[in-house]
Amino acid sequence: RAEPWLPSPRPLLLPGLLLGAATGTAARVLAALTALARRRADSLPTALGPPLGGLACGLLGLRWPETLFGGGAALDALLRGGGSPLTSLGALLAGTALCVGTGLSGGIFAPALAMGAAVGGGLRAATGGVGSEPAIWTLVGTAGLLAAAAQAPITCTALMWELTGDGRVIVPVAIGSVVAATVAKRLEGVEKRLVGLLRKKRGINMGSKENDNGAARLN
């Protein structure tokens, strides 16, 4: 039996299209902010970048603790129709960009899930939900932003199906994931930017074919 917060069986086209465009754009914003943080960190002495990035992330965590540890608490609240979508999105964008951009240990998988849920929650509030249950927007947003960042819409669709245990989410999530990945690709290829920054952070030679397979394992 499906949980009460899961979406209704009716596939919803509008959330998929709206959230696909929004999460694809949000992923591009994340890439731009991460690149900006990297440039700022590169202009500092090597020993100062990570400590300053850690300090900034810590201050964000003190103000918005739900965004710490990949935003797990924020994701849980948003999936249940609560939380503050815009606040969570802003804090997660800033924290993730600072973490990755300044060379701290971390990635984009868990934050992307929480940021996608925040985009979904924000659009649901802005549109009134268009008659759908709250979770359809957060689930589609979660899959969409991750699909945009990883350029893996099929994987993200399967992931949402596995996480929810309900096949009814496939159609709206698939639409959102494909649209998000396409939008992100059009907006200067967010995947290449993020993977490039992660490669650089780990000291991988981007010109080496030998390391191309290793880079794939970073995703």
Domain that holds residue 107: 13-216
Residue 1 lies in a domain: no
Residue 186 lies in a domain: yes
Predicted confidence at residue 182, as pLDDT, reads: 92
Residue 2 lies in a domain: no
73 vs 12: CA distance, rounded Å:
27
Residue 140 lies in a domain: yes
Residue 45 lies in a domain: yes
**Angle between helix 153-164 and helix 170-186 axes, rounded to 10 deg:** 150
CA angle 152–122–56, rounded 5-degree value: 80
113 vs 140: CA distance, rounded Å:
10
Residue 175 lies in a domain: yes
Residue whose structure tokens are 């990570």:
50
Predicted confidence at residue 167, as pLDDT, reads: 72
Pair 188, 25: CB distance under 8 Å: no
Number of domains in the chain: 1
Predicted confidence at residue 61, as pLDDT, reads: 86
Pair 151, 184: CB distance under 8 Å: yes
Mean pLDDT by 10 residues, the chain (219 residues): 46 79 92 88 86 89 85 84 86 90 82 91 81 76 92 90 79 91 79 65 52 37
CA angle 156–66–99, rounded 5-degree value: 70
CATH number at residue 133: 1.10.3080.10
For the purposes of burial, counting CB atoms within 10 Å of the CB of 200, is it exposed (0-12), middle (13-18) or buried (19 or more)? middle
Enter the tokens of residue 64.
Answer: 């918005």
Residue 6 lies in a domain: no
Predicted confidence at residue 194, as pLDDT, reads: 64
Residue 178 lies in a domain: yes
30 vs 190: CA distance, rounded Å:
8
